[in-house]
A and B are shown apart, each in its own frame.
Chain A
């Protein structure tokens, strides 16, 4: 049976990532001119070597697995660190793993960054860009981490192409999740280098995205639960701790149960991805269908149980709510994944 626990190595990895992020994440930069923290990214990616965890050492990576990547995703969810991990270390890396493409080595070493040029909401490969003789034209909306990427992996009917981001027109989008900037990308006859057949590579990247985003949702849910529990222990109303009221206790107990489930489900998805288990499609859709509602519920309870202060911009709860909600629409909503699951487990509509 799949191992759903965290190994000692994974716990050590978590400790080092958390200690870095505790020190360095500064969410006040999100409304500034440079919301993405590339300095923090360099430390995480290059200095600590976490950019290419699932990439074999022979290909310049850390030779770990997607299980460890999932632990990093949990910590990124917990901290909302504005770094391009999802685009480069999950989507682009998953697309390139196994292709022997030279770009993989640069990504794994943290020398360059890339992302997959699809709308963040995508669940399956679709083409809005055309390629003729290695020259690409078209527009892709709502691309994650494209604003800071060096290279864009652009799917077309003729294949997946690597395009230098500088050769494209990138228009920043006001994203609902302030901590995860999106970009509209227009290719006006940009030159591209063929990487491989787009269908399977994009599908693999999107499955990896779905499977691992569940770990980010888990991290968000855990932050929200922990923060709320701490708050209700200190906040007093009617001369009693708010956390002493049974209705609050029961809601937080139910939330803890849900988070406990989300942890098992997210671990299962990460393990299936790491071991290329035949159950991976089920595991990934299950993870998206289950963990997103939990993360949203946790963020909503965090806002509600902080009362007035939770509704303000000055408390970070709103950023977690926005991230959880946007994640719930990323790589397919829970509703869509339930429909996908129905087909996978033979429960037709």
Chain B
């Protein structure tokens, strides 16, 4: 157990070090990176298996008990996220071997990829608020560098917005940690959960202070998660780096924000769900509609995909926001529906973690062959690349929530939960957003795949095609594998839902999480006791 729970951060860290030592040998780095990712999948799978069979697992780093040392906790949600991230990381690594040019490879692309995974996995697993901040910063810093790697003008412009807005969020996060420590005197999340219960029972007059803290964390995570109206950095930057980088960003960055929000707003800030979760629900609704309208207004492959994420974040937050109904209803149906809503969020997060990146990966192939991502200048891919077209379709239709693909289940569960909780308005928005999502996916399809190849397209240039087709299999295979995952997700919707429900149950009833953490009894004496003895 010691090894397993720590492996998702230890493995990328050690491999990143090795790749730094191999700085002058990008080709060796490639294979190291790939081997590392595959091993990470193994670790993630092992961790998931152990958590699934034996329940929540934890580890006290450096051997000091909670709340004093740093705790790592793996419950179902976090281990699922680690596993999914590792699978996606593997796919993107293979894809990068062709998609990332040598000049980028030789400036540390692969170690950065691993360090990004390190930050992401750490954020999933840590049970300490300040440590979460540190992992956020690792992830952010790695994403800053991956975003700017290559130095194109667009990358610089996008990065300025990305960096600035995320640093604001970090500053708020840090301030929130400071105030949190000042108010509660602890940093351990399980301990905080206990404290909140204790405050609610003993000092209810202090509960509004917790709501203030909740708002600070909401903003801090909201920026990372690209929640409405804090999402501006995302459409400004996601389409600027190479598609492989866009893909890994789309898969992981916002998810960490959503994950943290889900964690904090189920484990810690549950004292006033009527206020906090209502705000989340309202912002989720706005996010859905604004994001999808934003996507409808775009005319470039990756810009459409990027803007879309904002609306899908809305769906993910919807499941968290639905907890609001626990403030008004306390019957069994409501509890079950809330659990289902949270399961919907989990399924949506995992579904989106595969589907959106896969669309970015397809866009990379399209851009490589068609020479551009602008829809007007593309065409003919249905005819020339039928397999790619099918894989795009699987991903795009899944994103639009067409059954029986993964996206449908995520949407269905959220809608079902929303209807049972009588939140009709958000359900209406969710369904409408689905239709508009379908529209913008079809827009890409019609323009890039169905229309004839434009006359000025570089596709007619044999030299260009020879170059573009070189090594393209390493780009296609990962896409195909993810497409298969998306299909299987629909076929095995039943078991997947069962697991998600169990994960949601673990989150809604934090006792398992808290029990797993190894607390240490301590009453301060500062040696005075000893002096008294002697």
Q: Is chain B found bound to chain A in the same assembly?
A: no
Chain A interface (Cβ < 8 Å from any Cβ of B): none
